[in-house]
Each structure stands twice: as C-alpha cells, then as structure tokens.
Amino acid sequence: MRIAVTGASGLVGRALVPFLRAAGHEVWRLQRSPPQADYDVQWPSHDPQFRFDPGTRWDAVVHLAGEPVAEKRWSSEQKSRILSSRGDVTLHLVQALAALDVPPAVFVCASAVGYYGDGRETLLRESSPVGTGFLAEVCRDWEGAAATARGFGARVVSLRIGVVLTAEGGMLAQLVPIYRAGLGGPVGSGLQWLSWLHRDDLLALILLALTDARLSGPVNAVSPEPVRQVEFARQLARVLHRPAFLPTPAFAVRLAFGAMADEVLLAGQRVLPEVAQQAGFTWKYNDLADALRAELPPP
C-alpha cells in the first residue's frame, strides 16, 4: 500500500513509519516543514486552502498529528490550540484529500479514551456514549471531522488510544526518573482506572485498521487488561526495584497542573477493546508487568 502519515515525528509516528516500511508498504511523511528526504510531502496543516498535487496517489492515510494535550497547563489559549489542532486540522486534511483525483480508500485517525470522560467504574466499549469535559469535547470533534472522509468513499477508523507505554517518551518516560529517585507513588486516590497499551501493540493495531475492511468507526486501542492507578504504580516500582509509597494528593496535583489535573491525572477510564478482540487481534503485551519490563530492562 501507499500510505501517508501525519505526525510522523511524534511518539507513535516515528516508530510507525519504519514499522510500515518493514511490512512492505510505501510510506510518505506529511509534515509542515519543506521536504528534507524522499517520501516527504509538505502539508501546512492550519491552511484550509492548501491542496496536494491532484495526481497524488495514496491508498491510505494515518492521521496522528495534533497539539500535545498534557505538556502545558490548560489556559484558554492552550485549550483553543488543542481543539483546533484536532477538529479543524483534521477537517483541512480531509478536504485536501477529497480534492485528489483518486482520494485514499482508508482514513485512520487517532482519537483517545478521553472520549469517554471520567468513566469511574463503568466498563467502556466502543458503543458507550461520549462523556463530559474538555477532552471528551476534543475527541468528539476530532472523530466528527475524521468521519467526513466518508464523503469521498473512505473507510474511516478512529482509534481511541489509551496511555501508550514506551521508554522513548510520554507518561512512562516522565515517571521513570521520579520512581528511580524513590519518589514514586499513586496519584490522588489511586483508584482511578488506567487503560494502557504497549507501543508495539498500537503499531500492529494501526496496521490492522489499514488492512482489515471489517474495522470501521471507533476502535478502542488499549490492552484488554486495564489496571487501577495504584496497581500501575506498584508494578512500575517493582520493575525498577524502587519503593512506591509516596502518594501525590489530589490538591497538590490540581495546584501543579490546574484544570488539566481533573481530566488527565485524576480521572480514569476502564476501557475494553471489544472491536479489536472480535477482529481476532492478538496483543503482544497483555500483562502490564511484561510491557514495563520490555521497555525498562534491568541495567
């Protein structure tokens, strides 16, 4: 397949490009900067008038680009950037693809388990309703924009991605130095659910979404074994041979992170990957401890 990827320099994208190429696919990176290598295409993502060369041919597009959600405090300006980078930018991309002489047949777009809001103890499946809160609003608009690709006949898959485990970045990379220093522990009550998956499994799930015509609409990209936050802390500490007895109280999290704290750190989602299971997807890492050991081998 000829596959275009946005967000190719991000945490998932920089692993996805070589993964797809190793699987025999031709991969093009869509990026805001001018092309620096073969198979690079410039894409000014915030320009609604931009169009690709109409003769460009891609069989599929994987759209991963977006403003990071948890790197900065949520000022009104930052929330606006996050929202626009999902809904507006996705719509711009779909419009540019629709103008091609032959638009792609498959459009796989990232989303997040934040779609469900704070699920508390509810078992959340792809059929579960959208939750409340800013992240739920972002994901709803994101998926809505992606769905417009059906207008040119594409099969659209929205991957509701959980916490991606890799030592190269994201939550795990931020926590490891804290735990190595002996300062790790659960956040808030520790009872909130954490839906996770190893990055290798996410790459394989993206490939399944690209190639399996049975997948359409929302797909929960998580391990079948969500854990409570306190269990995640215990497992990470055990893998690193460090204690995990210093909980961070909710008030301290709110003081440090503002409005983001309640939706990103103190909320949780107990998400089940029902669609992937029905499609026969096999996880490389079902067990959290195995996933952590794969990323954090002993020195």
pLDDT in tens, 113-147: 999 999 999 999 999 999 999 999 999 999 999 99
Q: How confident is the model at residue 105 (pLDDT cuts 50, 70, 90)?
A: very high
CB environment 216-246: b (16+ within 10 A), e (fewer): bebbbbbbbbbbbbbbbbbbbbebbebebee
**Residue type at 246 in one-letter notation:** L
Domain parsing of the chain, residue ranges: 2-295
- The correct CATH number of 2-295 out of 3.40.50.300, 3.90.230.10, 3.60.150.10, 3.40.50.720 is 3.40.50.720
- Alpha-carbon distance of 247 to 299, in angstroms, equals 26
Return the minimum-mean-pLDDT range out of 138-152, 194-208, 250-264.
Answer: 250-264
In this structure, the number of other CB atoms found within 10 A of the CB of residue 125 comes to: 14
Fill in the DSSP letter of residue 187.
B
Residue carrying the six token digits 């001018």: 34
20-67 per-position pLDDT tens digit: 999 999 999 999 888 988 999 999 999 999 999 999 999 999 999 999
Q: What is the pLDDT of residue 209?
A: 98
- Alpha-carbon distance of 141 to 133, in angstroms, equals 13
Phi, psi of 97 (to 5 degrees): -70, -35
Residues of the chain with pLDDT > 90, as a percent, come to 87
Sign of the four-CA dihedral 143, 198, 117, 275: positive
Closest CA to 240 of 248, 232, 252, 228: 232
Helix (H, G, I), strand (E, B) or coil at 40: strand
Please, are residues 237 and 288 in contact by the beta-carbon 8 Å criterion? no
User: Taking the mean position of all CA atoms in its chain, how far away is CA 288?
Assistant: 18
- Alpha-carbon distance of 274 to 148, in angstroms, equals 24
Q: What is the pLDDT of residue 33?
A: 86
Position 242 pLDDT exceeds 90: yes
The DSSP bridge partners found for residue 270 are: 123
Q: How confident is the model at residue 8 (pLDDT cuts 50, 70, 90)?
A: very high
Dump the DSSP string for 136-184: HHHHHHHHHHHHGGGGGT-EEEEEEE-EEE-TTSHHHHHHHHHHHTT--
How high is the mean pLDDT of the chain? 95
Counting other chains too, the contacts that 278-281 makes at CB distance below 8 Å and 24 or more residues apart are 279/208, 279/212, 279/214, 279/215, 281/204, 281/205, 281/208
Q: What is the pLDDT of residue 71?
A: 80
Position 246 pLDDT exceeds 90: no
Q: What is the pLDDT of residue 264?
A: 87
Please, are residues 46 and 80 in contact by the beta-carbon 8 Å criterion? no
Between 252 and 239, name the one with better pLDDT.
Answer: 239
Phi, psi of 60 (to 5 degrees): -155, 160
Q: What is the pLDDT of residue 215?
A: 98
Please, are residues 105 and 154 in contact by the beta-carbon 8 Å criterion? yes
267-292 per-position pLDDT tens digit: 999 999 999 999 999 999 999 999 99
Q: What is the pLDDT of residue 203?
A: 98
149-186 per-position pLDDT tens digit: 999 999 999 999 999 999 999 999 999 999 999 999 99
Strands (E), the chain: 2-6, 26-31, 40-42, 60-63, 106-112, 123-124, 155-161, 163-165, 193-194, 196-198, 217-221, 227-228, 270-271
